Amino acid sequence: MIGPEEIRQKAANLYPAFQSAWLDNIAFFPRVIPCDKTVDPNLAVAIESIHRLRSQSKEQLGYGYSIEWEGRNSRTHGRNRFPRKITFETPRDLLKLIGKEHEFARFTAAVERIRERYPQLVPWIRTHRSNVVDAASELDGLLHVVDYLIAHPRPDRFARELPLPVDTKFIQRNRRILRAWLDLVLPPHAIRADEEHFDRRFGLRYVEPLVFVRCLDEEVQRQANWPWSDCALPLHSLAARPLIVECALIVENKVNLLTLPRITGAIAMGGLGDGVLDLRHIPWLSRIPIWYWGDLDVNGFEILSRLRTIFPHVKSLLMSEEALLEWRERIGAPGNGRTGAELPNLAPDESRAFQICSADNLRIEQERIPQLIVETRLREVLSASRPESLRLET
């Protein structure tokens, strides 16, 4: 026969369904609990089970499950009353038994305020009931933020600059919920749907990543009117001022970048690592040849593959199977143990090199390749490139 603990668990399992029914204004009570009411053939065990069931019922506690009894004759137990039906009669009976009275009160109060102000959020509420409870204590601030961004879409200000009665880290702390809400309530023109970064998506300013840039040609530096040959620029500042160049080299290691030879009409960019996808915000890069040079290891090939999702025309430098086989015995070292799945954007020889690195836990750091080899390989690729004007300066 079912016991009080099992009934409590069944009640806890009913809680999400009760929340949904409340949201839809559907009657949920009285609620019968399907259960096994078979009495143990051992008379002493049966008496104890029935006593325990009654002792934790609404009849004794004033809340919880109600038992409907029926009198039956039994050869084993004689004439006695046995449980016929177990029911939760009211919301309080269910909620108090499972310790959810206060949580449900917070849930309903938050829902009433949210759907009164923004009925567009009802679908989100249905699928994120636990998040509604989590957000209840922050609800005033959340509504303030949404109100402000509806009235001032894409404000081009830092989140902590917004004139709101919230602490300076409030938006950062609540980005997950705010992202979901703003996607539902803001007009399409206020959202960059192709952007996952919260601030860029909703037009807020943020501390932009710096892109390290080195002019490999003095003429490029002169036309850019830069007093320095190398510098670090905010991403969108670089995007807003297209450089007059004929190619770009993207190099992971900064020392390698700084020791690249002079190349007519070229720039080098680096220090990006896994942030390489930020380069999609520099559209003028799509119009020029690009070479990528990273470590010969799993991570280096992953970066190359990601880079090609935004610039499919990127070519690699010293990242072929031939280069790997040439240098693995002399400067190869153990990798970090990472393995990778097949990458979608590699050329056949790059893919074979990636598989070797993955299978053999191999890493060849780009800074260990001799400078003379780097310059020789650059001269080879540039001599075969378009435009023909690209060349190493002597």
- pLDDT for 231-249, tens place per residue? 999 988 999 989 999 999 9
d(CA 247, CA 267): 7
| Residue 49 contacts residue 67 (beta carbons within 8 Å) | no
CB contact set of 221 (below 8 Å; sequence gap of 6+): 215, 228, 229
What is the dotted CATH code of the domain comprising 210-383?
3.40.1360.10
- pLDDT for 73-92, tens place per residue? 665 555 567 788 999 999 99
Q: Tell me, what's the pLDDT at 383? A: 79
Please choose, from the candidates 207, 260, 252, the residue with its C-alpha nearest in 3D space to the C-alpha of residue 229. Answer: 260
Tell me which H or E stretch contains 211. Answer: strand 210-215
| Residue 186 contacts residue 198 (beta carbons within 8 Å) | no
- Checking if the pLDDT of 386 tops 80, the result is no
CB contact set of 233 (below 8 Å; sequence gap of 6+): 210, 211, 213
What residue type is 264 in one-letter code? T
Counting beta carbons within 10 angstroms of the beta carbon of residue 167, is it exposed (0 to 12), middle (13 to 18) or buried (19 or more)? exposed
- pLDDT for 327-362, tens place per residue? 999 999 999 888 888 899 999 999 999 999 999 999
User: Domain coordinates of the chain in residue numbers?
Assistant: 4-99, 106-201, 210-383
Q: Are strands 66-74 and 78-88 parallel, antiparallel or unpaired?
A: antiparallel
- pLDDT for 136-193, tens place per residue? 999 999 999 999 999 999 999 999 999 999 999 999 999 999 999 999 999 999 999 9
**Mean pLDDT over each residue of the chain, to the nearest integer:** 91
Which of the listed ranges 105-109, 238-242, 281-285 does the model predict with the highest average pLDDT?
105-109
d(CA 12, CA 17): 10
- The three-class DSSP label of residue 53 is helix
CB contact set of 57 (below 8 Å; sequence gap of 6+): 64, 65, 66, 67
d(CA 326, CA 238): 37
For the chain, percent of residues with pLDDT exceeding 90? 76
Cα distances (angstroms) measured from residue 226 to each of 2, 123, 158: 81, 53, 28
What is the pLDDT confidence band of residue 49, given thresholds at 50, 70 and 90? confident
